[in-house]
């Protein structure tokens, strides 16, 4: 869809997917194919290594710099995601959070490895029930970030969430894709099977030495790490990837459905979406 829209407006694509940044993670992040990347210029795909620390705040700064450059040549840019937090980073800006104290993130990552997601959830609920009520509690990185802020400052993450819209020198026209949930879930199951056929297990095996790094605390990777640890069979690991991806998709739709500025379409309505954008541009 993004490629068709970008072609129609002779423009480029900016990725707001928080995992497609990383060069070492290709199959498990369902990156665009080489042909798709060649069809339209893309930015913020394969731009980082998993060994680099990178936050939504870093993306906000770098994306805005690139966007301002691109708007010197283009009237329209296509932002695609992905990650609601990273879309918001571009369109409305993020809260200014305090810099964490050294070592706290490493300690929390170790606790997560030792005690699992349940410990993170329980700890966040204890120290910051307000953020726990709205957080994506299945996302270990978000939980670790919130606990890191608390342990660095003694104040809950929710204290710093002002959610004030920042001014932008451009307008964001929001287009969402959605369809019948059974179709979405069927497509997810097919995609996971395709990833396995494309060599996801080999990709994960190559990354075992770095499994503690935050980018790899991700659906599709953690389940296969568990298989390699003999915690369950490969068949079970694949089923868990499908299950966790379906859960993620449900949370993703819930996140975006809260935004009344999003205009929703069926994924097949390419020409209707292009016409809608042309009309909105006047």
Check residue 273 and give its pLDDT. 97
Q: Which residues contact 159 (CB under 8 A, 6 or more apart)?
A: none
Average pLDDT for residues 56-76, to the nearest whole number? 95
Check if the beta carbon of residue 26 is closer than 8 Å to that of residue 192: no
Residue 161 reports pLDDT greater than 80: no
Tell me which of 32-41, 194-203, 248-257 is least confident. Answer: 248-257
pTM, full prediction: 0.83
- Prior bond of 119 cis (ω within 30°): no
Q: Is CATH 3.40.50.300 the right assignment for the domain spanning 2-95+165-281?
A: yes
Which of 176, 259, 203 is closest to 26 using CA atoms?
203
Residue 252 reports pLDDT greater than 90: no
Quickly list DSSP for 125-150.
HHH-HHHHTTS-TT-HHHHHHHHHHH
Confidence tier at 138 by pLDDT (50, 70, 90): confident
Check residue 164 and give its pLDDT. 63
Distances (CA, A) of 47 to 28, 32, 50, 77, 165: 16, 14, 10, 19, 27
CATH pick for 104-160 out of 1.10.3720.10, 1.10.20.140, 3.40.50.11890, 3.60.15.30? 1.10.20.140
Which of 98, 146, 137, 173 is closest to 254 using CA atoms?
137
Check residue 163 and give its pLDDT. 61
Which of 3, 14, 23, 11 is closest to 66 using CA atoms?
14
Domain with CATH 1.10.20.140 in the chain: 104-160
Which of 211, 219, 214 is closest to 188 using CA atoms?
219
- Say how far residue 63 (Cα) sits from the centre of its chain: 15
The mean of the pLDDT values for the chain is 92
Check residue 136 and give its pLDDT. 77
Check residue 239 and give its pLDDT. 97
Domain with CATH 3.40.50.300 in the chain: 2-95+165-281
> Which pLDDT tens digit goes with each residue over 4-61?
999 999 999 999 999 999 999 999 999 999 999 999 999 999 999 999 988 888 999 9
Check residue 186 and give its pLDDT. 96
């Amino acid at each position: 869809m993004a490629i068709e829209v970008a072609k129609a407006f002779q423009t480029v694509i900016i990725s707001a997917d928080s995992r497609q940044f990383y060069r070492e993670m290709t199959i498990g992040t369902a990156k665009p194919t080489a042909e798709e990347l060649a069809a339209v210029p893309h930015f913020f795909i394969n731009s980082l290594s998993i060994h680099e620390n990178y936050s939504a705040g870093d993306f906000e700064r770098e994306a805005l710099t690139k966007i301002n450059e691109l708007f010197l040549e283009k009237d329209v840019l296509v932002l695609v995601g992905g990650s609601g937090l990273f879309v918001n980073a571009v369109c409305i800006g993020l809260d200014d959070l305090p810099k964490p104290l050294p070592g706290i993130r490493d300690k929390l990552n170790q606790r997560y490895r030792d005690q699992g997601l349940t410990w993170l959830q329980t700890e966040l609920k204890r120290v910051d029930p307000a953020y726990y009520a709205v957080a994506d509690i299945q996302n270990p990185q978000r939980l670790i970030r919130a606990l890191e802020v608390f342990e660095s400052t003694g104040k809950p993450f929710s204290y710093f969430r002002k959610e004030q819209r920042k001014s932008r020198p451009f307008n964001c026209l929001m287009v969402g894709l959605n369809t019948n949930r059974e179709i979405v879930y069927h497509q997810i199951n097919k995609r996971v099977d395709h990833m396995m056929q494309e060599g996801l297990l080999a990709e994960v095996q190559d990354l075992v030495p770095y499994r503690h790094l935050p980018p790899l605390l991700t659906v599709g990777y953690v389940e296969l790490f568990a298989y390699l640890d003999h915690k369950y069979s490969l068949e079970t690991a694949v089923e868990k990837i499908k299950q966790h991806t379906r859960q993620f998709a449900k949370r993703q739709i819930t996140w975006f459905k809260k935004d009344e500025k999003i205009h929703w379409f069926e994924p097949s309505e390419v020409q209707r979406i292009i016409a809608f954008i042309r009309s909105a541009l006047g």
